[in-house]
Structure 1
């Protein structure tokens, strides 16, 4: 029983922000797609909630850049071009479609949608649409409202910079969640060890320990990393370096 417990239990209980019981207003939701990195970020109330890998347009049919809106949401949309029924295993749209008003279209040409080939996600392969893993599109479809803003750009820069280029401000410093940690034992023993890095991309580390009832504030999540403050330490924490002792 004194062996280490892996991160999953801790993340589920503490680090992953709790979903609201009611949908947020559309004005609070922003999706940013970077076609240079094939990443999609979902922001709510100015804070990053989740980031996903996506497939985007190939060189001959690139995904258009610009500021757009989710104008419809369709479950099991048929693939009319080839007469494939909605929800069929061979439907390249998957079973979720969120239409965009790109180039004056009415959500019937460009979309964020699923796929029938999971290995295609992450590649520049589509006719201009944004393709997601089916599990990911299900998650996003259930949370994203029609009217939400979608920003698309090819850039080697941050999501915040992309948003700013379209006149959208993201309050990335706003906490996602601030939660006290407690092991419930009442002993006051050290329960959590955090390996805090100054950046997710470097190898240098520094270690800090957290006592029970320490408050950890999560400011941002990115690919399994958590930007946190705790015990006066600020930095990025990887799931690989969080454990219950």
Structure 2
């Protein structure tokens, strides 16, 4: 089976869901503000939660970097901005799609 993985590009503020060499989805995201930047490196999805509540929107994909995750938002106007506490924010409809297509252990690559 071909590996699925997530690539987050901080410069253009995008998240891509890959399956091998194929891009399954391309989504706009918000990232951490300068004082609380989104970490860079190779991580994994460590936990999945439906309806985590509050500012996290409809889904939470917690990363192997403690305290960081990919999640929905209750503030869709923030997508595309550098405004979070380091997490990756997505439109709820987008994070729901990604959530359904990844598993705990899915690799997440974050870079500039």
TM-score tier (shorter):
over 0.9
Measure the CA separation in 2 of the matches of 1:95 and 1:49: 21
1:133 aligned to 2:91? Answer: yes
1:148-227 to 2 correspondences below 5 Å: 148-154=106-112
Q: Does residue 75 of structure 2 align to residue 117 of structure 1? A: yes
Normalised TM-score (structure 1) = 0.44
- The question of 1:93 aligning with 2:56 is answered yes
Q: 2-side partners of 1:95 and 1:40: how far apart? A: 17
Aligned length: 112
Q: Any residues of structure 2 matched to 1:62-77 within 5 Å, and which?
A: 62-77=37-52
Q: Which residue of 1 aligns with 2:35?
A: 60
Runs of 4+ in 1 over 2 A off after TM superposition: none
Q: Which consecutive unaligned segments of at least 5 residues does structure 2 have?
A: none
Shift of 1:50: 1.0
Q: Secondary structure at the match of 2:95?
A: helix
What SS does structure 2 have at the residue aligned with 1:128?
coil
Higher-strand-fraction structure = 2
TM-score by length of 2: 0.95
1:146 pairs with 2:104: yes
Indicate whether 1:43 and 2:6 are aligned: no
Shift of 1:150: 0.3
Q: CA RMSD in A?
A: 1.1
Q: What is the Cα deviation at residue 45 of structure 1?
A: 2.5
- The whole-number CA distance in structure 1 between the counterparts of 2:4 and 2:104 is 10
The separation in 2 between residues aligned to 1:95 and 1:30, in whole angstroms, is 21
